[in-house]
Amino acid sequence: MATGVHARCNRRALGPRVQPACTPGAIGGSLGDTSETAVRIYDHIDVAVFSHSWPQGANGTAATDLGSFRQAHLTERDEPMATGSKTVSSCFPSLDTTGASAMGFVTFAGRFLEASREGAFRRELPGQGPAGGPFVVFGKESPDALVFSAASNIMAAPWGAEGSKQLCSGLMSTVTEVPKGYAMETMVYLGSGINGAVRGYGQALMQMHGTKRLTEADATLQYLGYSTDHGAYY
């Protein structure tokens, strides 16, 4: 499936295979000159992990002020932020949807996923900003589906848009300073069918972080739950 993930790359060896090390984009701030990027592709599973790191850290990285960011988010009323909102200050990887007008997506969005929806690239982009989240891309002619998701430091790694056709995985635009050694990763998972791709992506993400599903859960985990919405606690 061709989805249009594009980056300008120089080739270098990154382990057992030669992978592209791509020049990251910067959207405001000063993120591009002090960072490194890499792509890891695994032989045993259909996953690509895009890594963006700052070995020496960076200062003055904000692309918008906190007040403007909050106002834009409140205006959206928990919906994904509108295309063009300044939600990220870096861009790696980028997803160019110009040639994807025949493709659709499912985007998981909202504080409680209430803003999740299906859509088509010919009309709109998946959810962005703090209320955005993973999304699945699919077509009519193939069972293949691609899941795009932040894979590390997820709370500071929303999706943003450059114009109406390009999505960027990047650093939240209100971050003013990046500490030394900071890194963020984006996962792209290829699966069969929307449900199968989402399940496989979840398994890959757990494997990446060394977590496991509980197989001997007690009654409280099997049947009960709680919510900490609006500052509630237990």
Instruction: Write down the pLDDT at residue 5.
Output: 35
pLDDT in tens, the chain (234 residues): 434 333 333 322 222 332 333 444 443 344 555 788 999 988 888 999 999 999 999 888 888 777 777 776 655 544 444 444 578 888 899 888 988 888 999 999 887 788 899 999 999 999 888 888 999 999 988 899 999 999 999 988 889 888 888 889 999 888 889 999 999 999 999 999 999 999 999 999 999 999 887 777 677 777 776 666 666 665
Per-residue model confidence (pLDDT) at position 82: 47
DSSP assignments along 120-169, one per residue: ETTT-----GGG---EEEE-SS-SEEEEEEE-SSGGG--EEEETTTEEEE
**Amino acid at position 26, single letter:** A
Task: Give me the pLDDT at residue 165, please.
Answer: 86
Q: Which H/E stretch holds residue 41?
A: strand 36-41
Residue 200 backbone dihedrals phi, psi, to 5 degrees: -65, -40
Which among 79, 92, 74, 69 is positioned nearest to 21, based on CA atoms?
92
Domain boundaries, the chain: 5-231
- Does residue 177 contact residue 59 with C-beta atoms inside 8 Å? yes
- Nearest alpha-carbon partner for 97 in 195, 26, 46, 168: 168
Output the pLDDT for position 232.
Answer: 62
Q: Count, in order, helices (H) and strands (E) of the chain.
A: 3, 17
CA 92/CA 169 separation, integer angstroms? 5
Contact 165, 94 (CB under 8 A): no
Distance (Å, whole) CA 188 – CA 206: 14
Tell me the sheet residues that pair with 93: none
- Which amino acid, one-letter code, is at 168? C
Helix spans in the chain (H) = 66-76, 194-209, 219-223
- Residue 103 corresponds to which tokens in the numbers above? 């493709």
